Every structure is written in C-alpha cells, then in structure tokens.
Structure 1
Amino acid sequence: MVVDDNQTNCAMLQKQLKAWNLEPYIVNSGVEALRIINQNRQLGIAFDLAILDMQMPGMNGLELAELIRQLPSCAHIKLVMASSHYANQWPEEIKNTFDYCLRKPLRQSILREVLSGILQGPKFSKAEHAAQDAQQQRALLQIEQEKKQASLKRILVVEDNTVNQMVAVKLLQKFGYQSQVAHNGKEGVEAFNAESFDLILMDCQMPIMDGYVATATIRQSHAKQIPIIGLTANAMEGDREKCLQSGMNDYLSKPIDIEKLKEILAKWA
C-alpha cells in the first residue's frame, strides 16, 4: 500500500512497484488506508508492506503507522516512511515505529534495494540502517549539485496527455530544470519560435500535428539546432530510426524510466 496525498508521487510509485512485480494499492489519506485494510481483512487479504508519506492532512504518517501497528491483521506488515520533512535525522519515535525510513525525493535504486531487503529478509540492523541513511544523504547532495547546474536550463514538453504532462513536469522540477508545456505539435512549434529553450521532449503521437511533423518543421528553420528527444508509447522495433529520420536526436519509451530520463538530460541538455 502507498499512502500519499500527492497524486504525482503516487503515480510514479505505482509505475515503479508494478515494474518490480509488486501489486500496489494507492490511497490518498490515512482514513482511506484504514478502510482499505479493513475491507481486505474481511476478504482474507493482508498487506505485506506499506509506504507512508509523513505530511498528510487529517492524519500524518506516524499517526497512521501507530494505528496500523495495533491491528491484528497487520501483525506482519512492513512499514516504510517516505518523507522530506526531516532533513538531518529521524526522530526516535519514527525509527521505533517504522521498519525503514527513506528521504524524498526517492531514488529508484535505493528504494528497490530497501524494499527487496525488507520483503525478503529480516529487519535491517541499526548499522545497515545508518549505512543506507548515509548513502541517501550522499545521493541527495548529488541531486542538489545537479539541480544547481540545471537551474538555468529550460525544457519544452510537447505532450497531449495531461497525466504525462504532470509526470514530466514533476520529474524535470525534481532534477532542477524549468519547463513549459505545449499540448500538441503545432503549439510546440509556436512555442519554439516564440521563446528560447535548451531541449524539447516531443511526444510522437499527438492530434493536430504529431511529433514527427513538428520536429521536421522545427528542423526546417535556420534556428539553433536544439536537441529534441522523442517520446513514444509503442516501443516498437524501428521507433528509434523513425525518430532519428524525422530529425530527433534521441528517444525515450513511455512510461518514462526516471534513470533513463536523467541520463538523456545529462547527455543532451
């Protein structure tokens, strides 16, 4: 179970957990989480793990965890705190209540390692917890350094799907980039002609004007040869060649893999 009032965070976690062959239940409040736990108990289903956000309206993550610990149906559940609220160290009451604590923004590699350890083995020792916490601190420091380097970069996101727009903007913000959204290829070309950008994320399949035509139109101008990264949901053989033939520099398949997006941005932006 993932309990977080931020829809974008939930969507990202849901995709990651499904990719790791886990079955995520997404809820947006502590009250809803308790209702779902009770509903599943009546069906004879128990949760193995819950990832709880700390800062939520009505009931925070610690309060929810303390209630979950009192439920007989959750005697074996593993609890993970995910929060950006505590910058330096976790309060003792949180460390005593949760099996593990993770700082946001969540690093995909660290999250996978932690969940694998929790679900497959015994509770982490204090030494292992401290080592992982130090690793998170180093990773967060690296993120902050990368954000400083990226803060002046502007990226145009050309995408017609509202959810995909939200995810892309959120990820770019997380990496420290500024972004602007265009809802189709025609709007993308107009935005490119009107303003200055350092990179374009271009969806390939859009109404009015698709990404291939939009890219070719941009390439026909004598403006700066801006890097254009194609976004395709098909992931079919030949997609990369089609993107490159239209004038794109590279491409990403959807749903977007966070680490691959980061690599693409580092390479081209």
Structure 2
Amino acid sequence: MLITGQDSRQIWSQAREAGVGGVLLKPFTDSTLLDCVNAVLHPQAAHEGPLLPQEAAWQVPERFRGRRILLAEDNPVNQEVVVELLRESGLLVDTADDGRQAVDMALAGDYALILMDVQMPVLDGLAAAREIRQRLGDGVPIVAMTANAFAEDRAACIEAGMNDHLPKPVDPQRLFRTLLRWLGGVPAQAAADNTRY
C-alpha cells in the first residue's frame, strides 16, 4: 500500500504498474485508511474502474433518471467512483465531505436517497442519520456505506435510522440493486423492518 501526498493520475498509474495494491492519500482519516486497507485485503471485491456509460446507464430505469442523490463520503477516491457511476446512470449527485455537511444539505435539499458513509469527520454517519431522521422523519431513504460489515455494525446502522447497508469497497451491481430498491418508493419504516442481511 502506497502512502503519498501527491494525487495524480500518473502516481495511480505507476502504482498499479508496480503492483501496489492500494494508494492512500495524505492527510488521511480513519475512514480513508480503513477503506484502503479493506480494498488491499479484499481485492476481489474492489471495483477496478468506473463502468462505461453504456454499462451503467441500463442499470437505472428512465423513470428514476434525474432524481437527486446525496452522497456523504470523505474519501475522495470512493467519492469519485460512486459519483461517476451515479451520474453515468442519469442521476443527479451532490456530495458532502463530512457528516455535519450531510445533515445541512439533507435539510436544505430535496433528495430521493442519501448514501451515507459511517466513519466521517466532524459528525459520523450514525449521528448524521439520527439527526436527519429527527428533523425530516422517514421520508428519505438512507443507505449506509461502510467497510464494517459485521452484524452488530449493520444493526447499529438500522438503529440509527438507516434503511439499508452497502459494504465497501462498493460493488457497482449491488449499488444499483440497492438504489433501485429504495428509489422504487418502499416505505422507509416497512423496509427497515423487512431488511435482511
């Protein structure tokens, strides 16, 4: 795993050619470190690159295109990959770099769905989800994105008011299956009650 302060396509390309399993940009947070270590330890689950537009576009039916998604993610690499996947599918994406920003944007915006990293600076994803639920109710689905995939981690997400859980690194197929489930208008509480992992 390469740790560097330089974020450039050349560094990423040279690292890949040298057989480096992951690149961690400085300064890094607990979340970005955990994401990078997880990607190195589980390369079979890591996404090698963004889907081509024609591959991603078919994933989201026409009726869902143009819906606005809030992505709360402090890791710039994860943020870039997920944003590209969603935008190629015709979804509109706003990004928040920490939990406090996510809450403020959720209260000010009209989002069809929120993708929430659990480990973020300023305010973590669990606390952010709780505050959104307290202030907005169950109207908007919140899907956790986290490298912590144990049953107790999933239970904590549901307890905080989240509706579903995506493990990291995010698998594009699973991401789109989850999006279609929640963009389809499943009532928040009923869906949370029926969530099975």
Interval of TM-score (by shorter of Structure 1 and Structure 2): 0.5 to 0.7
Question: Is the CA contact (8 Å cut-off) linking 2:157 and 2:165 kept in structure 1?
Answer: yes
C-alpha displacement of 1:237? 2.9
C-alpha displacement of 1:242? 0.9
C-alpha displacement of 1:148? 2.4
Q: Normalising by structure 2, report the TM-score.
A: 0.65
Deviations 1:31-61 (A, max 9, x none): xxxxxxxxxxxxxxxxxxxxxxxxxxxxxxx
State the one-letter code of the partner of 1:177. Answer: L
Q: Which has the larger radius of gyration?
A: 1
Give the aligned partner of residue 143 of structure 1: 58
Q: State the identity %.
A: 37
Give the aligned partner of residue 131 of structure 2: 217
Question: Deviation above 3 Å: which 4+ runs of structure 1?
Answer: 103-107
Map 1:219-258 to 2 at 5 A: 219-223=133-137, 225-258=139-172
State the one-letter code of the partner of 2:44. Answer: A
Find 1:196's aligned residue among 98, 101, 110.
110
C-alpha displacement of 1:104? 3.6
CA distance in 1, matches of 2:72, 2:142: 10
State the one-letter code of the partner of 2:118. Answer: C
How many residues are treated as equivalent by the alignment? Answer: 146
State the one-letter code of the partner of 2:153. Answer: D
Give the aligned partner of residue 207 of structure 1: 121
Question: Is the CA contact (8 Å cut-off) linking 1:150 and 1:175 kept in structure 2?
Answer: no
C-alpha displacement of 1:106? 7.1
For residue 206 of structure 1, give the secondary structure of its aligned residue in structure 2.
Answer: coil
Map 1:122-161 to 2 at 5 A: 143=58, 146=60, 148-161=62-75
Cα RMSD after superposing both structures: 3.2
Deviations 1:4-27 (A, max 9, x none): x8x8xxx9xx97xx4189xx8x9x
C-alpha displacement of 1:236? 2.2
CA distance in 2, matches of 1:171, 1:104: 9
CA distance in 2, matches of 1:148, 1:243: 30
CA distance in 1, matches of 2:52, 2:144: 28
CA distance in 2, matches of 1:236, 1:222: 28
Map 1:79-118 to 2 at 5 A: 104-105=52-53, 107=55
CA distance in 2, matches of 1:223, 1:250: 16
Deviations 1:84-132 (A, max 9, x none): xxxxxxxxxxxxxxxxxxx94475xxxxxxxxxxxxxxxxxxxxxxxxx
Question: Is the CA contact (8 Å cut-off) linking 2:98 and 2:124 kept in structure 1?
Answer: yes
State the one-letter code of the partner of 1:251. Answer: H
Give the aligned partner of residue 173 of structure 2: 259
For residue 155 of structure 1, give the secondary structure of its aligned residue in structure 2.
Answer: strand
State the one-letter code of the partner of 1:163. Answer: V
Deviations 1:194-247 (A, max 9, x none): 111100000000111000000000111145620000011122232211110000
CA distance in 2, matches of 1:193, 1:234: 27
For residue 242 of structure 1, give the secondary structure of its aligned residue in structure 2.
Answer: helix
Map 1:151-190 to 2 at 5 A: 151-190=65-104
C-alpha displacement of 1:175? 2.1
With a CA cutoff of 8 Å and minimum separation of 6, indicate the structure with the bigger relative contact order.
2
Label 1:266 to 1:207 Cα distance change in 2 as closer, same or farther (>3 A): same
CA distance in 1, matches of 2:132, 2:167: 22
Q: Normalising by structure 1, report the TM-score.
A: 0.48
